[in-house]
Amino acid sequence: MKFSTGIFDELSMLIKKVSKERDVINLSIGSPDLPPHPKIIEVLAKEVQDFQNYGYTLNPGLEELREGLIAWYQKKYGVNLKIDETLVLLGSQEGLAHLPLSFLNPGDLVLVPNPGYPIYEAAAKLAGAKIYYYPLLEENNYRLDIEKIPYDILRTAKIIFLNYPNNPLTAMANYEFFEKLVFYAKKYGFILVNDLAYGELTFDETRSISLLEIPEAIDVAVEFYSVSKSFNLAGIRVGFAAGNQKVISALTILKSNIDYGVFKPLQKAALEAFKLREVIIPDLVKTYEKRRNVLIKTLSEYGWQVKPPLATMFVWAQLPDGIKDSRKFSLDLLTNAGVAVTPGIGFGDLGEGYVRIALVADEDKLAEAGKRIGEYLQYRRVV
């Protein structure tokens, strides 16, 4: 079994090297640069002082936090969950990594997006599963065209990984798309797994949709959510799984053999984040919208026209005319302009020809990054 970090390690090492010689604006990782709300920090500071919080918390997590997740789903998506349809995780990525292990057998078939966030492929490999890579194409709004998946694949599939709003593609799902997937899942008996990490980060008054909004989706689907991106809490590692009770139960049982739950003060901090949602999210969305607009405007001034994303904290940018190799472009840009972006090839071969730019710097820095990129492109055109 081999796991590849490849270009990500190469980029990380070059960032360290270049940083010794010049200032680097690192837009390669989706790690929020904004601080958490002060009240969340206050709760965390208070809870770590209580010695009773230092025992095992055990799975499936604090009931009050799971009730907070249930309330969030009901308020945002109109989805009514039961407590046994929820689970607290050590970050959503941990849950995604372990899910296939919880109910698959070696050799079972898993469908993984290309391009796609690397954890889906890694999760399938951990379980010894066979992988079918399905294409996400711009011409189809980066949505799975399930009608083009071969019958033999559909009838033997056990899991289809989805990610909407999508990282790195920034694409969004709609009701009809999810409705069709639920129909096929019920017909063929596979489980739909949607990574909803960016569900709160939608722009221009658009709204994300939960897979669990679809009637009967609870029979065939689970969804993963996290406080990392919505509340600037990436480091505390608190996430959630919600959906089909049998799948949630299987994951809970697996985790009982792996970990003893999330540190209670971290769960209390996550609960406070849910309580502050109406205060935090509107301002956060406005901040990312402004950052997006600044970066795209600056790039356009230098002739690089980039489509503005409707969701996530990323820009998925097709390389300028005449540039085809995303890895070479990204490494050269970092070396010569001091701006780090992620090459699309790192997300699968269908990501070639694109780069992902994370909006994890303030407006001034993003304007400076755009200026550096623009001047780099002008230099390339001259030479």
Interstrand relation of 130-135 and 342-343 (parallel, antiparallel or unpaired) = unpaired
pLDDT (0 to 100) of residue 379: 82
* Nearest partner of 193 among 98, 61, 76, 75, judged by Cα: 98
What is the pTM (predicted TM-score) of this model? 0.96
pLDDT digits (tens, 9 = 90+) for 2-41: 666 668 888 999 999 999 999 999 999 999 999 999 999 9
Q: Which residues of the chain have pLDDT under 50?
A: 382-383
- Quick one: 7-36+278-378 is in which CATH superfamily? Aspartate Aminotransferase, domain 1 (3.90.1150.10)
Task: State the Cα–Cα distance between residues 107 and 139, nearest whole angstrom.
Answer: 32
Q: May I ask the CATH architecture of the domain 38-276?
A: 3-Layer(aba) Sandwich (3.40)
pLDDT digits (tens, 9 = 90+) for 30-46: 999 999 999 999 999 99
pLDDT (0 to 100) of residue 4: 65
* Nearest partner of 254 among 268, 264, 241, 238, judged by Cα: 241
pLDDT digits (tens, 9 = 90+) for 130-177: 999 999 999 999 999 999 999 999 999 999 999 999 999 999 999 999
pLDDT (0 to 100) of residue 383: 40
pLDDT (0 to 100) of residue 382: 47
Question: Can you give the residue ranges of every domain in the chain?
Answer: 7-36+278-378, 38-276
Query: Using H for helix, E for strand and C for coil, what is the string for the chain?
Result: CCCCCHHHHHHHHHHHHHHCCCCCEECCCCCCCCCCCHHHHHHHHHHCCCHHHHCCCCCCCCHHHHHHHHHHHHHHHCCCCCHHHEEEECCHHHHHHHHHHHHCCCCCEEEEEECCCCHHHHHHHHCCCEEEEEECCHHHCCCCCHHHCCHHHHHHEEEEEECCCCCCCCCCCCHHHHHHHHHHHHHHCCEEEEECCCCCCECCCCCCCCHHHCCCHHHCEEEEEECCCCCCCHHHCCEEEEECHHHHHHHHHHHHCCCCCCCHHHHHHHHHHHHCHHHHHHHHHHHHHHHHHHHHHHHHHCCCCCCCCCECCEEEEECCCCCCCHHHHHHHHHHHHCEECEEHHHHCHHHCCEEEEECCCCHHHHHHHHHHHHHHHHHHHHC
